[in-house]
Amino acid sequence: MGCCSCFGFTRRRKPLVRPTPGFNNCLSQEPLLDGDLDYEDDCSYNDDVTSTGNRDENEEQSPGHGDENEAQSRAKRSEEILRFRLENGLICRQFPVKETNKLVRTEDENGNKMVNEYVREYKIGSGSYGKVVLYRSSVDGKHYAIKAFHKSHLLKQRVAPFETAMTDVLREVLIMKMLDHPNIVNLIEVINDPETDRFYMVLEYVEGKWDCEGTGPPSGLGENTARKYLRDIVSGLMYLHAHNIIHGDIKPDNLMVTGKGTVKIGDFSVSQVFEDDNDDLRRSPGTPVFTAPECCIGVTYRGKAADTWAVGVTLYCMVVGQFPFLGETLQDTYDKIVNGPLVLPNDMNPQLKNLLEGLLCKDPTERLTLDAVAEHSWVIGDSGPIPQYLCWCKRKRLAEESNGNKDDDSGITHTN
């Protein structure tokens, strides 16, 4: 079963239920793609503190999250930056996302529903925005996870003073059109027929699951598995930050694990984009229990540092099996994040303890950077440094520079 937070679904506030030992044993590919509205989920602690909330609500619950004009300006800037990059070919993909403007809904010879070439198999999850269904392509035979939406429904749902749910979905699509990395969920195709109310995102299907059972002590994954997962998370997040993208909601529910144990980051519904290294933000629309201290108390905060804090909370959950700062109420949780001490097991590996203390440093200026995390002795372990991924835009730029050097060597003069 999936967490109902991942499609933006937020329940009314109620007393928190503390997580039981055995962190997210029920996590699979479902939570990342969508949440499930079924309250009888085995993961019983999905509440306001552990769910991605409505951004208006978050602004009221946590101080210092900006005024309406700045919120509108930031959303508009992200969209403008994304559209400029797309229109000018400034994307990090060798092959662009397929754009399909014609929707044909039929059935195959066995009576299974079809969307264009895709044959429906079964629903993965559902939430307030739409649903996710597993499909098989009749062309290549591969499985895909397809997010399905009703545009009219998205346009009616207001998630911020100047934004609807459609704003979130379209921004997520624009961001995913930019990206191509082995540790990020890949967007394959967008189906948007202007003649219909339906809208589809065709995503790669991750067949594996986050399996905590039997991999370590009852309370966590075990160091080796946690290290492997963390290396993938850091690699994917470093790629995002290098492309001036702040994820904004790093947490286990938004991480999928393939059958071969590769972690992929997904759910970019609250992500933001920047033109340069100025990653100042005023709002924290992510999940409260993963929120950095500066997001709770300051007028502005740095997005990359906040993402890094969320990585620390995720690592803590992986190895300890519970949240480092969790109160009985939302405000109590924020108070613990800001003022509560970090409690680590006495028998924890000293290197791991040092890493967690660096990641969960309450002062963002003293917090470990992702570059420092990648070079940390515990992260390196016996595997060596995290491999540097040479992405498509870097390869293209290096090729252009190489060709330019060849031209210079041949005596050709370049003018701007």
* The two structure tokens encoding residue 9: 């679904």
Say if residue 303 is in the same domain as residue 331. Answer: yes
Q: How many of the other CB atoms lie within 10 Å of CB of 305?
A: 21
Q: Could you give the number of structural domains in the chain?
A: 2
User: Mind telling me the catalytic residues?
Assistant: 249
Q: Which residue bears the tokens 């060798």?
A: 94
Query: Is 36 inside a domain boundary?
Result: yes
- Helix, strand or coil for residue 394? helix
Instruction: Spell out the per-residue pLDDT of the chain, length 416, in tens.
Output: 333 323 222 333 333 333 333 333 333 333 323 333 232 333 323 346 766 654 443 343 444 444 455 545 555 677 788 888 777 777 888 889 999 999 999 999 999 999 999 999 999 876 657 788 999 999 999 999 999 999 999 999 887 777 888 988 999 999 999 999 999 999 999 999 999 999 999 999 987 655 444 444 445 788 999 999 999 999 999 999 999 999 999 998 889 899 889 999 988 988 989 887 788 887 667 789 999 999 988 778 899 999 999 999 999 999 998 999 999 999 999 999 999 999 999 999 999 999 999 999 999 999 999 999 999 999 999 888 898 888 888 888 888 887 776 666 655 444 44
Q: Pick from 159, 187, 204: which residue ends a domain?
A: 204
- Give one word for 365, left, alpha or beta, with left for phi > 0 and alpha for psi -120 to 50: alpha
H or E stretch at 272: strand 272-273
Say if residue 145 is in the same domain as residue 221. Answer: no
Say if residue 230 is in the same domain as residue 171. Answer: no
* Residue 213: CATH number of its domain: 1.10.510.10
Q: Pick from 150, 170, 204: which residue ends a domain?
A: 204
Considering the entire predicted model, what is its pTM?
Answer: 0.78
| Nearest alpha carbon to residue 189 among 139, 152, 237 | 139
Q: 39 lies in which domain range?
A: 29-60+207-380
Query: Is 178 inside a domain boundary?
Result: yes
Query: Is 72 inside a domain boundary?
Result: no
Say if residue 322 is in the same domain as residue 192. Answer: no
Say if residue 168 is in the same domain as residue 103. Answer: yes
Residue 147, annotated ligand binder? Answer: yes
Q: How far apart are CA 27 and CA 220, in angstroms?
A: 13
Say if residue 119 is in the same domain as residue 212. Answer: no
Say if residue 359 is in the same domain as residue 219. Answer: yes
Say if residue 275 is in the same domain as residue 302. Answer: yes
* Residue 177: CATH number of its domain: 3.30.200.20
Say if residue 219 is in the same domain as residue 316. Answer: yes
Query: Is 37 inside a domain boundary?
Result: yes
Query: Is 5 inside a domain boundary?
Result: no
Bridge partners (DSSP) listed for residue 105? 115
